[in-house]
Chains A and B, each alone.
Chain A
Amino acid sequence: MATEIRDPERKRGIQRTVIWLLLLAATFYFGFIAMAVMRSH
């Protein structure tokens, strides 16, 4: 069974970090595609 994290503050911290990291990854993915779109004629 997975170890549950019970401390709500730590849980929030984890959620916040995950969201920021997902946003970072999405920015690079869509950012590079957007740059390629802008560069193509």
Chain B
Amino acid sequence: MAHAHDAHAAHDHHDDHGPAKGIGRWLFATNHKDIGTLYMLFSLLMFFVGGTMALVIRAELFQPGMQLVDPMFFNQMTTMHALIMIFGAVMPAFVGLANWMIPLQVGAPDMALPRMNNFSFWILPFAFTMLIGTLFVPGGAPAGGWTMYPPLSQQTGEAFPMLIFAVHLMGASSIMGAINVIVTIMNMRAPGMSLLKMPIFVWTWLITAYLLIAVMPVLAGAVTMLLTDHYFGTTFFEAAGGGDPVMFQHIFWFFGHPEVYIMILPAFGIVSEIIPTFSRKPLFGYDAMVYATASIAFLSFIVWAHHMFTVGMPLAGQMFFMLATMLIAVPTGVKVFNWTATMFKGSISFEPPMLFAISFLFLFTIGGFSGLMLAIVPADFQYHDTYFVVAHFHYVLVPGAVFSLMAAAYYWLPKWTGHMYNMKLAKAHFWLSTIFVNVLFFPQHFLGLAGMPRRIPDYSTQFADWNMISSIGAFGFGLSQLLFVYVIVACIRGGEKASDKVWDSGRPHGLEWTLSSPPPYHSFETAPEVK
């Protein structure tokens, strides 16, 4: 697909000024690589903050009865864990990858709007300082769930305006990031790189960015209306004033369901880059992958009410949302088939990125299947608000989205740093993560099917055994991630020199591999030509 001409020569002949010195390099960063690094370090920090909250939850649930925290604080933990992991860890990590990789993959010198790029990153530390700061205000942090359903969310104390402002800031940051991605891809591609010659990671991000621009403003609109209901006397969602709390749920999930795909489409792109490299074959069905991604994005807009079957809706509505949801299995199945077909008869090797990609393939599919189960209306009436739902979306988001991020880190880290990392430790990290993630989340299926409700700090003794196993898995998984940090830090500090192609024995494909490892601070100042 992409062949770079004189890519090396291009960056050897300009006035190569390096990064600024000191803290100014990061505060006033406009270089896509620096901003990508900032995003990813921030998301790693948030991953540990949100993860610590998850461990508080799992510690309390280790055995029945109330042991460690009071119920109000437990609810604050569930709410904050979700908000931090979704908006602080997973989304910024993908934006960081987009910043690092999209210009390199499309042969652009930088993102199209580098100053806005700086702004969209630096909003985030303020937003999350404010969000985490709610833990210290009278009334405590938001505790009504990340969905912020009224009237419950209207009972939040002093934290309410801070929550709303933080969500607005996160939304603004995401929209600016998405605009930057689209503008870069549409206007900055190297000559000869037509849309259907773009790397698949770029494609998945292009579609994700459109999803972001369509739905983040909807979330912003919903929380704006929560705010006006709270302080300005409107009654959008207040039944007493003629409003409708269910309308909030419709608006929220019009954002919320595409949000799920915002967190998984770039993951599909990463896996679609890694599997061909380590199978030593081109991606099977490139065009089909692109159309499947676009189909998933389109369908994600017409399935929102499957989150609300138990709220009550006409039979026709139930049928429509059930069938539309099941339809998503078709393009998703195309993807799983194509990844499998790419590996079929390939000369596969199992380096850490490939291990995570294969694990993703199996475990994300489990999450997909439990999603199909939840799409069935009569079954959903049984499963709704149980631990089965918790198991489902954690399978999609942890061995799905998070594993793809780890795969991406292990795939591109040598390119970013110029050093190879410790393969043995990375493989140990993989095995520990894969084992513990299943110990953590698989038992939650059984708990849910047995009727254990979610967001509850105490439970009946019949659920004790699986909860204990799940909590052991949680601590095992959490501690394993320290190994991930160690491998990254050690790789940044030094190690065996990485070659330009990094995975010489594999089949890495794309413009990023034509650059040195690490790439020059200003890459592709003269656009490469793609044939």
Cβ contact within 8 Å between A14 and B251: no
Cβ contact within 8 Å between A29 and B217: yes
Cβ contact within 8 Å between A32 and B213: no
**Cβ-closest chain B residue relative to A34:** B221
> Is residue B294 contacting chain A, with contact meaning CB distance below 8 A?
no
User: Which of A10, A13, A26, A36 is within 8 Å of B217, CB to CB?
Assistant: A26
User: Which of B30, B179, B220, B254 is within 8 Å of A29, CB to CB?
Assistant: B220
Cβ contact within 8 Å between B183 and A14: yes
**Cβ-closest chain A residue relative to B179:** A21
B residues in contact with A3, CB < 8 Å: 30, 109-110, 114, 522, 525
A residues in contact with B215, CB < 8 Å: 28
Cβ contact within 8 Å between A32 and B244: no
Cβ contact within 8 Å between B214 and A40: no
User: Which of A2, A5, A28, A39 is within 8 Å of B221, CB to CB?
Assistant: A28
> Is residue B113 contacting chain A, with contact meaning CB distance below 8 A?
yes
**Cβ-closest chain A residue relative to B117:** A2
B residues in contact with A37, CB < 8 Å: 236
Cβ contact within 8 Å between B179 and A40: no
**Cβ-closest chain B residue relative to A41:** B242
Cβ contact within 8 Å between B236 and A36: yes
CA distance A32 to B304 in the complex (A): 15
For A24, A25, A29, A37, the residue with the greatest tally of chain B CB atoms inside 10 Å of its CB is A25
A15-41 CB mask vs B (1 if < 8 Å, else 0) is: 001100110111011101100110111
> Is residue B112 contacting chain A, with contact meaning CB distance below 8 A?
yes
A residues in contact with B225, CB < 8 Å: 33, 36
Cβ contact within 8 Å between B114 and A18: no
Chain A: interface secondary structure? helix
CA distance A13 to B183 in the complex (A): 9
Cβ contact within 8 Å between B179 and A22: yes
CA distance A24 to B175 in the complex (A): 11
Interface bin, chain B:
35 or more
CA distance A13 to B113 in the complex (A): 12
Cβ contact within 8 Å between B242 and A2: no
Q: A1-B17, A3-B109, A25-B213 are in contact. Are A32 and B182 (CB under 8 A)?
A: no
CB proximity of B492 to chain A, nearest CB, Å: 24
Q: A33-B225, A39-B247 are in contact. Are A17 and B183 (CB under 8 A)?
A: yes
Q: Which of B175-197 contact A (CB under 8 A)?
A: 175, 178-179, 182-183, 186-188
Cβ contact within 8 Å between B242 and A40: yes
Cβ contact within 8 Å between B242 and A1: no
Cβ contact within 8 Å between B217 and A17: no
**Cβ-closest chain B residue relative to A9:** B187
CA distance A2 to B225 in the complex (A): 38
CB proximity of A2 to chain B, nearest CB, Å: 4
> Is residue B218 contacting chain A, with contact meaning CB distance below 8 A?
yes
Cβ contact within 8 Å between A32 and B218: yes
A residues in contact with B30, CB < 8 Å: 1-3
CB proximity of A35 to chain B, nearest CB, Å: 8
> Is residue B216 contacting chain A, with contact meaning CB distance below 8 A?
yes
Sample of 7 further A-B pairs with CB below 8 A, known A32-B222, A33-B225, A36-B236: A2-B115, A3-B114, A14-B113, A29-B218, A29-B221, A36-B251, A40-B235
- The list of the 7 closest CB pairs from A to B, nearest first, reads A29-B217, A2-B30, A2-B114, A28-B217, A41-B242, A3-B110, A32-B221
Q: List 27 A-B contacts (CB under 8 A).
A: A1-B30, A2-B30, A3-B30, A5-B112, A10-B188, A13-B187, A14-B112, A17-B183, A21-B178, A21-B182, A21-B183, A24-B213, A24-B214, A25-B216, A25-B217, A29-B221, A32-B218, A32-B251, A32-B254, A33-B225, A36-B221, A36-B225, A39-B244, A39-B247, A40-B242, A40-B243, A41-B242
